[in-house]
């Protein structure tokens, strides 16, 4: 269990994290989502006791991390995949950590196998791809077999097979009753990974709910309809109060009427339909809508 209460971090005039309060429960994969610069890494660093909060508290298993015996057997974390001495081999890196944390040597081989790096164990980390570094970071987090695990953007740099593997791993760790907290700035990465979401923007909490509840936010329900007579259908639907816009060849996107109503209106006016499909906003769209006011950097922004 991770408990964050009123957590705030200021860097001079800049407020990176502003009064965050949430709980991350065991037995679930909890996604920690927010646009770039939202304050995810800063929050994870405060939970781990690596950054001092300006105010508020972050506790792991009921106690501030600072007050716990530090070590990989209590909390495992992947923060920055590049944070490993490039001249060392993967095996040497993990062995040194195992020694320092009184973890049996056999765990090194176990976790290397688990993350798929057994073959590359004797190679220098400096020559590793980003995906291999992510795997090594995940191995480091798993080394002490901890009940609480934090991963900052673990999916970055993984190929599709790696993404599938890491999702399976997170689900298994949660099913074993562990607390699994995973950050990302992409909803698409979380929708098949997390079952609970904590969403922040500009350092503040925007949502703390199950993935299903988040999906139900899909406010912009629309209907895609295809017809050889676009002009007539547009006229009759508009007369019924719908908002209609062209959507490619002989297709329209209709909002403001259900799919059933669109079908009824078309039938009544004898307009032929070739397709009638209700469409719920994707999770990515719901996420973009929710965080639109709190995105810090825009492409082409010249402010
Ligand atoms: N050491 C620091 N000094 C000053 N400002 C900082 C420092 N660390 C972070 N910030 C600022 O705090 C805000 C939050 O940064 P943070 O890295 O926590 O965001 P993030 O959500 O992890 O973003 P990303 O997805 O880009 O990694 C940003 O505006 C960042 O510029």
For the ranges 5-9, 64-68, 165-169, which has the lowest average pLDDT? 64-68
Cα 272 to averaged position of ligand 1 atoms, centre (Å)? 55
Question: pTM to 2 decimals?
Answer: 0.81
Pocket lining: 156 vs ligand 1, CB cutoff 6 Å: no
What value does the mean pLDDT take over residues 4-21? 96
Q: Is the per-residue pLDDT at 3 higher than 70?
A: yes
Q: Is the per-residue pLDDT at 188 higher than 90?
A: no
What share of the chain in percent tops pLDDT 90? 67
Pocket lining: 71 vs ligand 1, CB cutoff 6 Å: no
Q: Where do we find the tokens 């490039």?
A: 86
What pairs with residue 14 in β-bridges?
11
Q: Is the per-residue pLDDT at 299 higher than 90?
A: no
Of 31, 41, 183, best ligand 1 pocket probe by most atoms within 8 Å of the beta carbon: 41
pLDDT, position 282: 72
Q: Is the per-residue pLDDT at 51 higher than 70?
A: yes
* CB-based contacts of 37, cutoff 8 Å, min separation 6: 296, 297
Pocket lining: 14 vs ligand 1, CB cutoff 6 Å: yes
Which candidate, 240, 242, 236, places its Cα nearest to that of 222?
242
Average pLDDT, whole number, for the chain? 89
Q: pLDDT tier at 63 (50, 70, 90 boundaries)? A: confident
Q: What is the pLDDT of residues 225-265, one digit of tens each?
A: 999 999 999 999 999 999 999 988 899 999 889 899 999 99
Domains and CATH numbers, the chain: 2-210 (3.40.50.300), 222-280 (3.30.70)
Spell out a b/e string for 46-75, using b for 16 or more CB atoms within 10 Å of the CB, else e.
Answer: bbbbebebeebebbbeeeebeeeeeebebb
The two tokens of residue 289 are 């809508």
Determine the Cα–Cα distance for residues 77 and 141; give it in Å rounded to an integer: 5
Which candidate, 194, 185, 258, 197, places its Cα nearest to that of 225?
258
Pocket lining: 147 vs ligand 1, CB cutoff 6 Å: no
Cα 45 to averaged position of ligand 1 atoms, centre (Å)? 11
Which candidate, 177, 76, 62, 80, places its Cα nearest to that of 125?
80
Q: Is the per-residue pLDDT at 68 higher than 80?
A: no
């Amino acid at each position: 269990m991770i408990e964050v209460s009123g957590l705030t971090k200021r860097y001079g005039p800049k407020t990176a994290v502003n009064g965050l309060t949430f709980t991350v429960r065991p037995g679930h994969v909890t996604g920690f989502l927010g646009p770039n610069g939202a304050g995810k890494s800063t929050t994870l660093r405060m939970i781990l006791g690596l950054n001092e909060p300006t105010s508020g508290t972050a506790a792991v298993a009921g106690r501030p991390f600072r007050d716990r015996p530090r070590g990989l057997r209590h909390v495992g974390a992947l923060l920055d995949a590049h944070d490993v001495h490039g001249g060392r081999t993967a095996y040497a890196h993990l062995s040194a950590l195992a020694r320092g944390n009184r973890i049996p040597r056999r765990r090194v081989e176990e976790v290397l196998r688990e993350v798929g790096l057994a073959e590359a164990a004797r190679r220098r980390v400096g020559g590793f791809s980003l995906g291999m570094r992510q795997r090594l970071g995940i191995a480091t987090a798993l080394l002490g077999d901890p009940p609480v695990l934090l991963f900052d953007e673990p999916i970055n740099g993984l190929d599709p097979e790696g993404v599938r593997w890491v999702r399976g791993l997170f689900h298994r760790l949660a099913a074993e009753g562990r607390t699994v907290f995973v950050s990302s700035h992409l909803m698409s990465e979380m929708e098949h990974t997390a079952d609970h979401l904590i969403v922040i923007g500009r350092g503040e909490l925007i949502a703390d709910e199950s993935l299903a509840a988040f999906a139900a936010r899909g406010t912009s329900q629309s209907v895609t309809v295809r017809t050889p007579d676009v002009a007539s259908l547009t006229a009759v639907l508009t007369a019924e109060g719908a908002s209609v816009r062209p959507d490619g060849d002989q297709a329209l996107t209709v909002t403001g009427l259900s799919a059933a109503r669109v079908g009824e209106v078309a039938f009544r006016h004898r307009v032929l339909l070739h397709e009638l499909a209700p469409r719920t906003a994707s999770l990515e769209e719901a996420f973009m809508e929710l965080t639109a006011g709190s995105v810090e950097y825009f492409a082409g922004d010249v402010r």
